[in-house]
A and B are shown apart, each in its own frame.
Chain A
């Protein structure tokens, strides 16, 4: 007669002793490294590919909406900005097929950005904030630097590519939180690198145009002053480097000169005329109109 029995079963047969948490951490690190590598490959790949995309593709891409940006009446502010941008661009070694067009937006938030096709949009809020032509030239040449490096199309293209790849790989799963965040932080790192490069271009242009970078310095100092009570977001989630770092870059530059004179802005930039009676009001001290001054300066510097 067989003996019927149920001997106790050892615990380790069906359950492994390896720590699930340790494995989770190890796999998460591998996932993060993979996502960072993916973003880096896509970004650097875009930067290599983009010089092969002719600029006139971008221009025709932007043509549809850029025509609607400006009103019908000619604006003296816009013409002044356009002339200033063209003069700065002449000192920045832009390729011949990159036209720069400046538009003014009525928004009261200070902002300026460059988009496809060489279009730069400056808000009225920014025009009210700057207090010298040098500061405005810093902003404009920074945006022209972005266009020169083809930053709009590189950033937009790689952003779309990264989103698509991560969505295909991880979709809406729980671990998409890890992959999307690491992808985002890497993209922001590249964005900050683009901003620093554009800053360098702007400082070079300012040095060639005015001989010094004082206007840029006063502009950033003013930004620091205005926002010194606000809580600055940590740098790793910002698209731009922190303002103190940008200021330090300027102050350690070779053309740094705190006492160089700044060129004032014309009046109509701050308060766009309600009527078109006097398209080129002069400032009260009888100084020549800005356009005449620019023409003269263009002739002097070639």
Chain B
């Protein structure tokens, strides 16, 4: 009979994860999209060489990191999908959110510094899984780069908005 109780608990956990997890994910995506619009003036590039006009300008290392974890439903759905392989669609949205959130936090730090661009942006991901082979997935996403303040006379044709949000 304990097999049936385990099944009932499993179904309850899956439903809780599904319902509450979906609500929280939608809320997070709304927040992400809103902040992406707000911080859209800070440009990010993986380019190592800033343009010439940035020479001599103040710069700073900025980073943003976030730890995301899936809910029980994501883990169960991924566990099933792993048997036959393919895209784990339940994890795709989780890691997409984590990446965008990390970029946004980096931009927020750059905005505090007063920068208009972040160059040489790199990403790091590390998983914080417990020893258990089938534990709930948990990952830390880190984005870091060099934030640069644009010179006051930066021409508009290069796309950098000068003098905006200077603190």
Contacts and interface: CB of A to CB of B under 8 A. Distances in A.
A24 B17 CA distance: 13
Interface of B is mostly: helix
A16 B133 CA distance: 26
A229 interface: no
Interface string A31-63: 100000000000000000000000000000000
A1 B6 contact: no
Q: Which among A5, A14, A20, A172 has the greatest number of chain B C-beta atoms within 10 A?
A: A20
A: interface residue count bin: 20 to 34
Nearest to A176: B6
A177 B157 contact: no
Contacts of A28: 80
Contact of A27 (B1, B6, B72, B80): B80
A23 B77 contact: yes
A73 interface: no
A3 interface: yes
Contacts of B58: none
A154 interface: no
Interface in B1-28: 1, 3-4, 6-7, 9-10, 14, 18
B134 A3 contact: no
B40 A173 contact: no
A6 interface: yes
A18 interface: yes
B127 interface: no
Interface string A138-182: 000000000000000000000000000000000011110110110
A177 B160 CA distance: 56
B38 interface: no
A3 B1 contact: no
Interface string B108-149: 000000000100000000000000011000000000000000
A4 interface: yes
Contacts of A278: none
Contact of A174 (B40, B76, B87, B158): B76
B79 A181 contact: no
Interface of B: 1, 3-4, 6-7, 9-10, 14, 18, 36, 40, 43-45, 51, 72-77, 79-81, 83-84, 87, 89-90, 92-93, 96, 117, 133-134, 155, 157-160
6 contacts: A3-B159, A8-B36, A16-B87, A21-B73, A27-B77, A173-B133
